[in-house]
Structure 1
Amino acid sequence: MQKVKIGYRWLLCLCLLCASQTQAQTTYPAPSSMSIEDAYQLGDLLVDQYKIKQGQPYLKYAADKGNAKAALAYSRSLSTNVMVLGPQEHEYAVKAAKLGNEDAMLTLSLNKNIFGDREEFRIELLKISKEKAEQSNADAMRKLSLLYLDTSDELDWLRKSAEYGNAKAQYELGRTYEVGEGWFFIPGNREKEVKRLYKASAEQGNFRGMEGYASILFKEGNKKEAFDIWTKMANTGDAFSTIYLAGQYLHTIPEISYPEKDEVLGAAYSKIYLDSMGTDKEHDLYDIYKEQYLEAMSHLSDAQKKQVNDFAKEFLSKHTVRVLR
């Protein structure tokens, strides 16, 4: 009996491997045959799906043709050290910044830029952001908080940005309070403010805010409401949320008690992730998810396997799965 099970799982693994190889061999048009915007969009998608080597030529093509977003995306795709910009990473961030991309200017204004032009970009972005902040631009306020990192102005600008409705700032301020920064003299007020900020961020669709708010709800015992938030995130095509649902349904951690174990749904969400994502990043995690998928599939009947395949096919006909944060 054990021999049959091993053979069966080997067959499943072979089928999945073939599917993965087919996916890896997917061919796309040459970048030069596409519009600049289409090349950028395809490259950005492939990188977000951890098919980084496939996506980079499209981003580079669009960047070299003057697309600022592509230049920054290409720069980020080259990152190998979160603490320091590499030479080509810096080159394309500069290209994006000179094309007017303020996010690229911000990248070049931070300490990880060791190429001698950090202050040049910081001064320029400070001027732009202060002018916009005076016009109540919440994103500019958030940029100012980052430009004033580790100074007394950092938290002030972050608070202002959150007050003016910036979803990222609302999450970041909530997280800042959650880890103990800021003063709250009345017991319980810190927790209330963290929850309020996460909820405000979540209501605008910010995934980190949604995660934070869902975690609080779950701890409070509102497990269904919390799980509904995770499901909503997965239904936008967010890769992390998709594999999170898979793990929850498969009870990959013994402590999981909600939702009830459902290997069909767990395998289906696993398949959605595995069929969508590449392995140029987080390869080890991909292998773990694949093993969990194979284990779940080995427990299912033919009818249940069909349910898995049908669910995944239907989902992927409506959603494009990628990293969305």
Structure 2
Amino acid sequence: MTGNDSRRHSIMQMHLHRYTYYHQLILLILAVGLLVALPTQAATLTAEQAYQKGKILHFQDRFEEAEPYLLQAGESGNASAYYLIGDGVDGGYINILAAMSTKEYTFMKLAAENGHLLAMLRLVYYKSRASQSEKERWRNKLRQVLKPHAQSGNPLALSFLSGVALSEEDDGENFEYAVKAAYAGHPRSQYYIASEYENGEGWFFLPGSREKEVAKLYEASARGGYHDAIWYVGVTKVKAGETEKGMQILNVLIDKGDASKISTLGLMLSDLPDFDEEWVYDDKILGSTYMRASAIAMSDSDDTFQFFNEEAISLLTAEENQQVDQLTEEYLRTHTVYRQDGLDEFEYTVDNLHTALERWGGNAIE
């Protein structure tokens, strides 16, 4: 090693030490602060119980309340818990164009280092705080992990490879992997490709074949448990006059406690002005009940749920309002309401990726 090389190596080691020390210090400060604020009942929870409680609070937009529980779970080796802490920094919404904060980066990196696949993807997107060399390292790691699974037809591995291509702005490969994921059985990809075909993407030579393929993809996505697809299929049937069948499908989402779907269906059923003129079914008591349940369950940080609840209340008589109160209480006694999509892809890691083939392989489309 030359003198210059030796000096360069020493400087790199020094910066690496500073970098590692800096992030360890951040974690120590966060950990101490959160442990001081740790709710009394958290001390009696196992790591898994803490994770489940933190996860629900996170998806009720109660990010500060969720954080101590998730930190407890993360320190016990739960990579998804670290991911959710990082995800909560931006209000629980993935925005690959928004600049990543230091805290988000710290916890995404912790999750990625523990094998979390979506965290690795978040670190390679455009606005990640990761350096270019770090981004490339995570891309290589993702390819190394995902490609063997993709060759075996793993739907989630194919979908994540689509995300890797997106991070490199390779639209062709991004779409190609999304199509492969869809036909391998991945519900979110099926929904995405259905909407792309519906909007004119792809070539279909026989009359009516495009419409048949779109319907097939939406149905498969709903069958695979993706809530947006279940919503699409149910609403489409109600609008087509199959009200009973459509409402049976939508009730799947009500039973699961999907906050955004409950609130939206409540709005459509209520006496508030319809935002979809083709919707033909109303039930203001049921609609008001759904909006009230969402408003009670979800954090006040997003006043959308509360706004629509108050609007619906203004259209009820005192007797109707009392009835809605009773129905809401009964519903919340047996249901937990929070944001969800039915797939929970944020819980997949290097170690459990193989289970996605078992979960969705049977949902493949010929």
TM category, shorter: 0.7 to 0.9
Tell me if structure 1 keeps the 8 A contact 2:42–2:50.
yes
Does residue 199 of the first structure (1) align with residue 219 of the second (2)? yes
2:84 to 73, 93, 107: 73
User: Counterpart in 2 of 1:62?
Assistant: 73
User: Counterpart in 2 of 1:315?
Assistant: 331
Tell me if structure 1 keeps the 8 A contact 2:267–2:288.
no
Tell me if structure 1 keeps the 8 A contact 2:258–2:338.
yes
Does residue 132 of the first structure (1) align with residue 149 of the second (2)? yes
Q: Map of 1:174-189 to 2, 5 A cutoff?
A: 174-189=194-209
SS at match of 1:251: coil
Moved over 6 A (4+): none
Q: Map of 1:288-303 to 2, 5 A cutoff?
A: 288-297=307-316, 299-301=317-319
2:118 to 103, 119, 122: 103
Q: Which moved more, 1:195-204 or 1:64-73?
A: 64-73
- Offset, 1:36: 1.8
- Offset, 1:215: 4.3
Distance 2:279 2:181 in 1: 38
Q: CA RMSD in A?
A: 2.3
Distance 2:39 2:321 in 1: 30
SS at match of 2:40: coil
- Offset, 1:143: 0.9
Tell me if structure 1 keeps the 8 A contact 2:272–2:312.
no
User: Counterpart in 2 of 1:51?
Assistant: 62
SS at match of 1:148: helix
Structure number with the bigger relative contact order (C-alpha 8 A, sep ≥ 6) is 2
Residue identity matched to 1:232: V
Tell me if structure 2 keeps the 8 A contact 1:234–1:242.
yes
- Residue 175 to residue 129, structure 1, CA distance change in 2 (3 Å): same
Residue identity matched to 1:198: Y
Where do 5+ consecutive residues of structure 1 fail to align? 1-26
User: Counterpart in 1 of 2:5?
Assistant: none
Distance 2:89 2:172 in 1: 33
User: Counterpart in 1 of 2:350?
Assistant: none
Distance 1:288 1:256 in 2: 24
Q: Which moved more, 1:141-150 or 1:223-232?
A: 223-232
- Offset, 1:42: 1.1
- Residue 190 to residue 215, structure 1, CA distance change in 2 (3 Å): farther
Distance 1:46 1:216 in 2: 32
Does residue 268 of the first structure (1) align with residue 283 of the second (2)? no
Does residue 278 of the first structure (1) align with residue 294 of the second (2)? no
Distance 1:28 1:181 in 2: 51
Tell me if structure 2 keeps the 8 A contact 1:178–1:191.
yes
Tell me if structure 2 keeps the 8 A contact 1:75–1:93.
yes
- Offset, 1:257: 5.2
Distance 2:172 2:284 in 1: 51
User: Counterpart in 1 of 2:358?
Assistant: none
Q: Give the TM-score normalised by the residue count of structure 1.
A: 0.82
- Offset, 1:218: 4.5
User: Counterpart in 2 of 1:157?
Assistant: 177
Q: Map of 1:206-285 to 2, 5 A cutoff?
A: 206-254=226-274, 255=277, 258-260=280-282, 262-280=283-301, 282-283=302-303, 285=304
- Offset, 1:203: 1.3
- Offset, 1:123: 0.7
- Offset, 1:135: 2.0
Tell me if structure 1 keeps the 8 A contact 2:100–2:129.
yes
Where do 5+ consecutive residues of structure 2 fail to align? 1-37, 342-366
- Residue 252 to residue 174, structure 1, CA distance change in 2 (3 Å): same
- Residue 186 to residue 86, structure 1, CA distance change in 2 (3 Å): farther
Q: Give the TM-score normalised by the residue count of structure 2.
A: 0.73
Residue identity matched to 2:281: P
Q: Once the two structures are superposed, what CA deviation does each residue of 1:118-139 show, in whole Å capped at 9, x if it has no partner?
A: 1111110011110111222111
Tell me if structure 2 keeps the 8 A contact 1:43–1:56.
yes
- Residue 293 to residue 317, structure 1, CA distance change in 2 (3 Å): same
- Residue 251 to residue 191, structure 1, CA distance change in 2 (3 Å): farther
Q: Which moved more, 1:123-132 or 1:179-188?
A: 179-188
Does residue 141 of the first structure (1) align with residue 162 of the second (2)? no
Q: Once the two structures are superposed, what CA deviation does each residue of 1:45-96 show, in whole Å capped at 9, x if it has no partner?
A: 1111122221122223322343201001111011268223221111111111
Residue identity matched to 1:271: R
- Identity of matched residues, %: 28
Residue identity matched to 1:105: M
Residue identity matched to 2:195: R
SS at match of 1:244: helix
